[in-house]
Structure 1
Amino acid sequence: MHNIDTLNKFLEDELSATETYQQVQTKLSEDAGLGECQDLTLLYEEHKEAVSSLQTLISQLGGTPSADSGAWGTWAQIVQGGANLLGKEVALRSLQSGEKSGAEAYEEALQKTELPLDIRSLIETKLLPAQQEHIRTLDRLLAVETE
């Protein structure tokens, strides 16, 4: 049961990420360059893939996948809503902070020796590398933004 709870926590984080990226894309599509929107769309799609992978694994383990992003998602939406009002750089930094938090959560999970191989494999081969790539993409977008 503990593993399903852990996976559902990750699922809620990924659902929160998809909601937040949707919100930022809507805001930035009004004033961002096409390339930035494409970068953010790719990150959004990768979070949707992570949601799907987590839902599948939770179901395979006999659990019920979380249906929403929970309290963290509500908080993320409030923070991102404020960031959107403050401009593109703040919105991108908010996304970057969320990505770093997600990467840390995955890294912490990998420190647990009792983590089953299927969960460890999903984190090591898909979830964590995606988070790390998202951080690099946002670093690049922020570097362009602050030039």
Structure 2
Amino acid sequence: MHNIEILNKLLKDELSATETYQQALDKLKEDAGVGESEDLKPIYEAHKDAVSSLQALINRLGGTPCEDSGAWGTWAKIVQGGANMLGKKAVLKALQAGEKSGAEEYEEALEDTELSSDVRSLIETKLLSAQQAHIRTLDQLLDTASE
């Protein structure tokens, strides 16, 4: 039960991330044409993949995966709404803040001594490393982004 609660919390974050990236991709397509959104699309796909992995593990453990992003999703909409009124750099910074928050959530989950080995393995081998790669990509995009 404990593992399912942790997985659902992480799933909410990933659902929020997919919503936020979808909004960012739509925004960047409108503003900048295709170039910028192409850099973000792999990250969006990785978050969708993380959602699938978490849902599958929750189901395998006998739980019911949550279906909405809850408060985080609302927060993402507010952040993204503010970024929509600003430039591309603000959008990238909002995404980066979300990625760093997500990485912290995964690191926090790994500190849980009651975490089962299959949950720990998914976080260590796939989810956290993907999150860290997203942060590096966004760092690079921010370095080259104009306002």
* TM-score, normalising length: structure 1: 0.96
Query: Is 111-120 or 4-13 further displaced after alignment?
Result: 111-120
Measure how far apart 1:123 and its partner are: 0.3
Identity %: 71
Q: Deviations over 1:10-41 (max 9, x none)?
A: 00000000000000000011222533211211
Q: Deviations over 1:73-96 (max 9, x none)?
A: 011111111111111111100000
What secondary structure, in the 3-state scheme, does the structure 1 residue paired with 2:112 have? coil
- The residue type paired with residue 123 of structure 1 is I
The match for 1:69 is 69
The match for 2:3 is 3
Distance 2:24 2:57 in 1: 28
Q: How does 1:26-45 map to 2 (within 5 A)?
A: 26-32=26-32, 34-45=34-45
- The residue type paired with residue 80 of structure 1 is Q
Distance 2:51 2:92 in 1: 21
| Pair 1:56 & 2:74 matched | no
Say how many residue pairs are matched. Answer: 147
Distance 1:51 1:119 in 2: 14
The match for 2:112 is 112
The match for 2:123 is 123
Distance 1:137 1:40 in 2: 9
Give the root-mean-square deviation of aligned CA atoms.
1.2
Query: Is 120-129 or 70-79 further displaced after alignment?
Result: 70-79
- The residue type paired with residue 81 of structure 2 is G
Structure 1: any 5+ residue segments left out of the alignment? none
Q: Which runs of 4+ in 1 moved over 3 A?
A: none
What secondary structure, in the 3-state scheme, does the structure 2 residue paired with 1:30 have? helix
Distance 1:86 1:57 in 2: 38
Distance 2:32 2:7 in 1: 34
Distance 1:127 1:32 in 2: 30
The match for 1:20 is 20
